[in-house]
Structure 1
Amino acid sequence: MKVLHILGYDEIKFNLPLVQMLSNEDLGWKDEFYFATNNLNLYETIKEYKNTIFFEIGISSYINQIWKEYDLIVIQGWNQTVARASVLRKKAAKKIVWRFWGSDCFPYEESASIKSKIAGKLLFPVLCRKISNFYGIGYGSITDVKLINKRFHIRKGLKGYPLSFRYEKGTGEQYRKIYEESLKEIKRPLRVMIGHSANERENHILTLERLRKFSDKELEIVLVLSYGKDNYRKKVIEKAREIFKDKVDVITEMMPIDQYRKFLSQVDIFTIESMGSNALGNVEDLIYFGKKIYVRKNSFLDDYLNEISVDHFLVEDIEEMTFKNFSDKNYDKVKNHNIFLSKEDDKVAVKGHKELYAEYRRNIG
């Protein structure tokens, strides 16, 4: 079976591990994989692997050109505009699994263009019908599937498939060791991590203002701003240092993934103001490591954590909290940790992909 993965974003840190995993013949894949992107920088990074393709048009237009050549098309992140996405051919749509990313559902609603908003409203019903014809939804969290079905008014509901990006031999053992190490009590200031990138949707400055009243306490603000917009990054750093002076630890360079996991294990509290699923992978790792999580009320992350019964807290409540309330470990760390024990399984990502491809092969005969 020929499977085309369209890499919709230039996120090398996700797409490269995906290509590496699906190109690893030792993992026993039964299908032939192809990888296409319209991002030149990403293409230059992955072109050493077999079956890589560069295209210069939009994703929907590209799919309309090539859909007959492949049995299954997996879109890895699709920041669609309604006008472009609504032109997908119905027969092509039936071959698509949309691997949903956190920012996929934002674009046209936030457009400053009145013309774009009007076009979006007129064409949105067409887009809903096209998406309802998809084969399924790939997800990082099962809540992604509910979000898509609700957002695009899909009555029957598309089926979801867990599609992770990364396979690393020994990852499970690495997680276990880092977790065990993190259980040791170390006397140091409370480390509070705000967001995970220089993305305006994470509203760092709002969080910094909520925490201002704790500026004289023994804490350290942790800002991971290694990717995102430069201007926004600068504003966040300036505001953090204005309020917390030298109690700010700023990360602006990408870390190797094993080093980053250890870094996360040394955080005490994580806060994020985004309404979307930004930082989902970080949040899951932090929960596995037993950390205290604050999210926006009724946000994607709030819904997700409620659904899987993770003890967590709301950023809106910080304004009424004392420092003791804010920092207390008044939640079930062990229960939270156990919810994400799958992180100790090296091949969880491989299994998710294999289950999708095996089912699709059965269905197409």
Structure 2
Amino acid sequence: MYVHIFNNTNHKFSEPFFDFIERNFDIREHLFLIVGDYSINEYRERENLVVLPNLKKEFGRFLKILKSSKKIFLHQLFFSLRILLFLNFQRKILEKTYWVLWGGDLYFYIQNRGNLAVRLKDFVRKRFIRNIRGIVTFVRGDYELVKQHYKTKANYYYAFYPNPVDYKYLDTLLETVNKDKGKIVVLVGNSADPSNKHIEVFEKLEKFKANGIKVICPLSYGGKVEYTEKLIREGSRIFGENFEPLTDFLKPEEYGKILKDVDVAVFNHDRQQGLGNILALLYIGKKVYIKSTVTTWKMFEEKGVKVFDTCNLGEENFESFFGMSDEDRKHNHEIIKSEFSEEKCVYYWKKLFED
């Protein structure tokens, strides 16, 4: 049995992944394990879904599942210090554990470096990461960062998630035209997490107000209420009625319609983040800015995908900010269609399961 462990807060990504596994693999061989109170989300009940709302009280059952598994896929490294300490002494469990890296769980070590509790947890994480079987990510640079910081012996495995916004659905959207759009639409960031550095982007975009831009900001998850409210105030102050915060969690189909009307997307993260959004936007031929300093930049460069450098945004005039050749848009579409299709997704996960 392959066991997939998710945190209860990752509903946006876990449910599409469960559907993907059910569509393409023998579901009898897979168990989905949710740690935390999953009832806070609207989710589909499944025969192979186990929810452990209180891991402390149900630790015996949790351990029994891990011991009886063929392979363990930890989708984001979110375990508490206590759980990590225990697992560090479970050699047989570590030898069949694969960490499916998300980004924020990798960059934990650069957060609050002076915080004693964080440094202690990272010390324990190091032993765990050094002794697991594999690390799964499609951004090779992130694996190299893991090796550099954690000195791990874990093998590298290339695999990725199916995009929450289905590419075939995006194809149907491209056949429609929004005659009422009117303005140049700029998407800023992918969540309410402060790592998006939204306000820095707002300040650089302010000079384009006279060009009739509309700024859309997804803020439905990832940040604290105080930060979200601050962003909304600042965005409204700078762009007025041309600022639209997306504070409600949207279904993939609804979100796809919004992405379809985007002209330019700006991601200001200092680390790999927002890849689901980025891939969907590139697929539908949108101009995307990311920082040339993040691991994602090199990955796209190696695949021949044309992205633009957020670090240069302050130097852009409106024509250069908005402009992108039709050839580059089409080229990006073809690469994403080829490299990140569901067929390719199935291929790499199948290899991983059979390794």
Q: Shorter-chain TM-score: which interval?
A: 0.7 to 0.9
Once the two structures are superposed, what CA deviation does each residue of 1:118-145 show, in whole Å capped at 9, x if it has no partner? 5357x26xx4453233222222544443
Provide the residue aligned with 1:312 in structure 2: 307
How much identity, in percent, do the aligned residues show? 23
Distance 1:148 1:294, change over 3 A: same
* Number of residue pairs matched by the alignment: 347
SS at match of 1:270: strand
Say if 1:221 and 1:249, in contact at 8 Å, map to a contact too: yes
Pick which of 314-323 and 43-52 moved more: 43-52
Pick which of 316-325 and 157-166 moved more: 157-166
Once the two structures are superposed, what CA deviation does each residue of 1:300-342 show, in whole Å capped at 9, x if it has no partner? 3323322322222222212122122211225721221111014
Distance, in Å, in 2 between the alignment partners of 1:55 and 1:71 is 23
Structure 2 counterpart of 1:333, from 314, 325, 329: 329
Provide the residue aligned with 1:133 in structure 2: 131
TM-score, with normalisation over the residues of structure 1? 0.82
Provide the residue aligned with 2:34 in structure 1: 37
Distance, in Å, in 2 between the alignment partners of 1:142 and 1:118 is 25
Q: CA deviation at 1:279?
A: 0.9
Distance, in Å, in 1 between the alignment partners of 2:238 and 2:41 is 42
TM-score, with normalisation over the residues of structure 2? 0.85
Provide the residue aligned with 2:12 in structure 1: 13
Say if 2:187 and 2:216, in contact at 8 Å, map to a contact too: yes
Gaps of 5+ in 1: 360-365
Say if 1:10 and 1:41, in contact at 8 Å, map to a contact too: yes
Q: CA deviation at 1:187?
A: 7.2
Provide the residue aligned with 2:352 in structure 1: 356
Equivalent AA in structure 2 for residue 49 of structure 1: R
Provide the residue aligned with 2:91 in structure 1: 90
Provide the residue aligned with 1:69 in structure 2: 68
Say if 1:145 and 1:158, in contact at 8 Å, map to a contact too: no
Structure 1 counterpart of 2:204, from 202, 210, 222: 210
Q: CA deviation at 1:55?
A: 5.3
Provide the residue aligned with 2:170 in structure 1: 175
1:1-365 aligned at under 5 Å gives the runs 2-22=1-21, 24=22, 27-29=24-26, 31-41=28-38, 45-46=42-43, 48-51=45-48, 52-54=50-52, 56-57=54-55, 66-79=65-78, 85=84, 87=86, 88=88, 89-111=90-112, 114-119=115-120, 123=123, 127-154=125-152, 158-165=155-162, 171-181=166-176, 188-228=182-222, 229-330=224-325, 332-342=328-338, 345-359=341-355
Once the two structures are superposed, what CA deviation does each residue of 1:30-71 show, in whole Å capped at 9, x if it has no partner? 75222222211358755721231315337xx88766532111
Q: CA deviation at 1:203?
A: 0.7
Distance 1:351 1:139, change over 3 A: same
Distance 1:160 1:243, change over 3 A: same
Distance, in Å, in 1 between the alignment partners of 2:33 and 2:262 is 37
Say if 2:8 and 2:38, in contact at 8 Å, map to a contact too: no
Gaps of 5+ in 2: none
Say if 2:162 and 2:342, in contact at 8 Å, map to a contact too: no
Distance, in Å, in 1 between the alignment partners of 2:278 and 2:284 is 10
SS at match of 2:211: coil
